[in-house]
Every structure is written in structure tokens, then in C-alpha cells.
Amino acid sequence: MSLPLIQLAPAGPSAARRAVLARRVRLFVAATITYNVIEAVVAITAGTLASSTALIGFGLDSIIEVASAAAVAWQFAGRAPEAREKTALRIIAVSFFALAAYVTVESVRALLGGAEAEHSSTGLVLAGLSLLVMPVLSYAQRRAGRELGSRSAVADSKQTLLCTYLSAVLLVGLAVNSLFGWSWADPLAALVIAAVAVKEGREAWKGDSCCAPNAALHATAGATTSDAPAEAATAAAGEADACGCQPGCSCCGTSS
């Protein structure tokens, strides 16, 4: 007679590890806010001097990203971050929607015949620097957020990653305009970014239950009386990753 086997789901991070991860998230958020404030001031100033709608829009996008990062900072400032998860996600979603709306309006205005922007060396340097800084911040925050199981931290990391795309669009737009005078290239690419922002905003607004903050801490038990059921139970238990995500979950996948 074989004894019943208890199958446990993969254990999540310990309380001490979760505290470390929460501190990391706060650090990454603080770094993101600091950089974006500087970025906003420089971009809006340079954009005003060069009559560049793209640069001004990029600076305003930085302000929206500050609001998103501030929402996560507010969430993790409390003793029970999970209780503030939904509100933080909604703030992040609204930030995405606001960004998409602004980029769309400004892109359409530019396509319909806005003022031609002048060359901006400051804008080119700023866009290039953001291309280097933002992917690092996004990856670090997303990695910590996934391990912690925080949907809002992952969503905010996507907001930061979106800034990378906007930086690339800005860099190409400024460079093409300076070299060839093709002023239509930037607004067309920006419309694609706006569509991505809407998609990410919808995901943040809905929130995926597959990555609930404490999902990885819940163990499942099952009794088996033969080797086949035992193997099936083990396989099922192994489907969830460290943050509790199930196969097909998009909230903390490896994609942006």
C-alpha cells in the first residue's frame, strides 16, 4: 500500500526577500522619478527654443511617467502594498491613456501642418541618453516586480519601457528632420507608440489575476495513489512561476 503524496506549488519569496524586493522597487521608482523630472525640464525647454512639438511632447510624456512612478511609490510606502495595488494600477492605466491621447493629438496636428521644428542638438543628446538609461531602469524594476508578484510595479516598468520607444522615435524624428527635412516621419511613428500605450493602459486597467501579489505563497496539496496521478500533479504544480503566474499570463511575461 503506497502512502499518499503531498504536492506543493513552488514556494514564493520569503518575508525577508519580499522586504528586499520592495526596497528595490522603491529605489528604482525614485531613480525613474528623478530622471524623468530632469528629462521633462530639459525637453520642454529645448523644445520651446527649437519650436519642436516632438520635444515638448516628449517632455510632457516624462511628466506623465512621473505620475505613474509616483503611484507605485505611494503603494509601496504603506505597510500593506497589496491593499493599494488596484488603485495604483488604475492610476498607471490613466497615465497610459493620457499619454496616448496627447501623442495622438500632437501627431495629427503635426501631420496637418504644424510649425516646422529647428535642429536641436540638446534634443538629440537627450533622446540618445534616454535610450541608454530607460531600458536599464525598466528591466530592473520589472525583474523585481515579477519576483515580488506586484502587477503595479510590472505595469510601471512597461511605462518606463514605453519611454524608450518614444526616445527612439524622437531620436529618429529629430535626426531625419535635421538631415533630410522629412517632418512627417516623427508623427507617424508616434501614432504607433500611441497605439501601444492604449494596449498597455487596457492591460493595467484590467489587471491580471494570474499574478496576484501573494499567489506564489499559496501551496496546493493533492493526494495520489499511483505514479501517473503523482506525475500529473507535479507537472501541474510546476506550471506556476515564482510570482504565481500561470501559462499565458501577460502581466509579468518576458515581453514588454
pLDDT at 241 over 80: no
Mean pLDDT (whole number) for 22-29:
85
Percentage of the chain lying above the pLDDT 70 cut: 75
Q: How confident is the model at residue 89 (pLDDT cuts 50, 70, 90)?
A: confident
75 or 176, higher pLDDT = 176
HEC states along the chain? CCCCCCCCCCCCCCHHHHHHHHHHHHHHHHHHHHHHHHHHHHHHHHHHHHCCHHHHHHHHHHHHHHHHHHHHHHHHHCCCHHHHHHHHHHHHHHHHHHHHHHHHHHHHHHHCCCCCCCCCHHHHHHHHHHHHHHHHHHHHHHHHHHHHCCHHHHHHHHHHHHHHHHHHHHHHHHHHHHHHCCCCHHHHHHHHHHHHHHHHHHHHHHCCHHHCCCHHHCCCCCCCCCHHHHHHHHHHHCCCCCCCCCCCCCCCCCCC
103 or 6, higher pLDDT = 103
pLDDT the model gives residue 60: 81
Q: What is the pTM of this model?
A: 0.64
pLDDT the model gives residue 95: 83
Under a CB-based contact definition with an 8 Å cutoff, are residues 138 and 166 in contact?
Answer: no
pLDDT the model gives residue 115: 64
Q: Taking the domains of the chain in order of start, what are their residue ranges?
A: 15-211
* CATH top class, domain 15-211: mainly alpha
* Tens digit of each residue's pLDDT (9 = 90 or more) over 203-217: 878 875 344 433 333
* Tens digit of each residue's pLDDT (9 = 90 or more) over 90-112: 888 888 898 889 888 888 887 88
Under a CB-based contact definition with an 8 Å cutoff, are residues 220 and 11 in contact?
Answer: no
**Mean pLDDT, all residues of the chain:** 75
pLDDT the model gives residue 125: 95
pLDDT the model gives residue 246: 47
pLDDT at 226 over 50: no
pLDDT at 255 over 80: no
